Amino acid sequence: EVQLVESGGGLVQPGGSLRLSCAASGFIFSSYWMSWVRQAPGKGLEWVANIKQDGNETYYLDSVKGRFTISRDNAKNSLYLQMNSLRAEDAAVYYCAKYPGNGKYFDYWGQGTLVTVSS
């Protein structure tokens, strides 16, 4: 059974940093693109970043470029999102999501981790 379990969320002050983690199991993690998607309170889903199987190709939402870094450790079956210079508008539930082999959509999602940005 595919499982994606996020952790690392919490309360951080504006300008602060946070590192989210996603522990993957139930599939060959190193074989799939992975992604972070967020949802601000009362808002819709918003894609944040993608990373290729080997970690050598990444894509970011324009508003997080230069502040967020997506990475992965295939040996640990883990996905990460390093978030720096956090802003109030980054407050959201962050979901880890998995792509299938050849699709441009997600087949599995984690349960999410809440990031609150406030002084």
With contacts defined by CB under 8 A, name the span among 12-20, 45-53, 69-77, 79-87 that binds another protein. 45-53
Check residue 95 for interaction with another protein (CB under 8 A).
yes
What is the C-alpha to C-alpha distance for residues 87 and 108, in angstroms, rounded to an integer? 28
Check residue 27 for interaction with another protein (CB under 8 A).
no
Check residue 38 for interaction with another protein (CB under 8 A).
no
By CB under 8 A, name the one of 31, 44, 56, 118 that touches another protein.
Answer: 44
- Nearest by Cα to 6 from 111, 82, 118: 111
| Total Cβ atoms within 10 A of residue 108 | 17
The answer to whether 4 and 20 are in contact (CB under 8 A) is: no
With contacts defined by CB under 8 A, name the span among 11-19, 66-74, 75-83, 105-113 that binds another protein. 105-113
Quote the least distance from Cβ 47 to another protein, whole Å. 4
Check residue 114 for interaction with another protein (CB under 8 A).
no
The answer to whether 32 and 100 are in contact (CB under 8 A) is: yes
Cα-Cα-Cα-Cα dihedral of 81, 86, 91, 97, to 10°?
-10
Residues within the interface to another protein (CB under 8 A): 35, 37, 39, 44-47, 50, 59-61, 95, 97, 100, 103-112
